[in-house]
Structure 1
Amino acid sequence: MGSSVITPEDVLESLMNDGTIDAIRLKIINQLKANEDLKNNTIKMVEQSKVLNTPGAEKQTKRELFDSLRQELETPVLEKASKSVWELILDQNGLGKEISEIVEKVFCQLSGCEPPLFPPSSSEAQPEKEREDTPTSSSKKRSFSEMGKEDVDEVAQVSADEPVHLRK
Structure 2
Amino acid sequence: MGMARKISKEEVVEKLKDDGDFDRLRLKIIRRLKDNEELRNNMIEIVKESTALKRQGAQNMKTRQLSDAIFEEVGSKMLSQLSDGLWGIIRSEDGMKNEIRETVQSVYATLSNPGGKKCGTSARKVEHKIPTPFPETRADSNTSPASKQKQELVQRVVEDNKGEACSDDNEEDPELPPGFG
Smaller-chain TM-score bracket: 0.5 to 0.7
The 10-residue stretch of structure 1 (30-39 or 44-53) with the greater mean CA deviation from structure 2:
44-53
Map 1:9-88 onto structure 2 (within 5 A).
Answer: 9-54=10-55, 56-58=56-58, 60-63=60-63, 64-88=65-89
- Report the equivalent of 2:155: none
Question: Is the Cα contact below 8 Å between 1:51 and 1:68 reproduced in 2?
Answer: yes
Q: In structure 1, what is the Cα distance between the partners aligned to 2:46 and 2:53?
A: 11
- 1 or 2 for the larger relative contact order (CA 8 Å, sep ≥6)? 1
Unaligned runs of 5+ in 2: 114-120, 129-143, 145-181
Mapped partners of 2:15, 2:103: distance in 1: 11
How far does residue 82 in structure 1 lie from its aligned partner after superposition? 1.6
Match of 1:115 among 114, 123, 126: 123
1:91 equivalent in structure 2: 92
Specify the alignment match of 1:164 in structure 2: none
Deviations 1:104-149 (A, max 9, x none): 1111121137221349xxxxxxxxxxxxxxxxxxxxxxxxxxxxxx
- Asked whether the 8 Å contact 1:11–1:106 carries over to 2, the reply is yes
1:51, 1:57 within 8 Å by CA — same for their partners in 2?
Answer: no
Q: Residues 58, 17 of structure 1: CA spacing in aligned structure 2 closer, same or farther, 3 A cutoff? A: closer
Paired residue type of 1:51? A
2: CA distance, partners of 1:59 / 1:90: 40
Q: Distance in 2 between matches of 1:93 and 1:53?
A: 40
SS in 2 for 1:80: helix
Aligned positions, number: 119
- In the alignment, the residues of structure 1 paired with residue 71 and residue 49 of structure 2 have an alpha-carbon distance, to the nearest angstrom, of 14
1:46/1:19 CA distance change after superposition, 3 Å: same
Q: In the superposition, relative to structure 1, how do residues 48 and 109 fare at CA in structure 2: closer, same or farther (>3 Å)?
A: same
User: In structure 2, do the counterparts of structure 1 residues 14 and 50 end up closer, same or farther at CA, with 3 Å as the change threshold?
Assistant: same
Distance 2:59 2:101 in 1: 52
Bigger helix fraction: 1
For residues 44-102 of structure 1, what are the alpha-carbon distances to aligned partners after superposition, in whole Å with 9 as ceiling and x for unaligned?
Answer: 11111112234x24564234433321211222212211221111111123211100011
List alignment gaps of at least 5 residues for structure 1: 120-152, 154-168
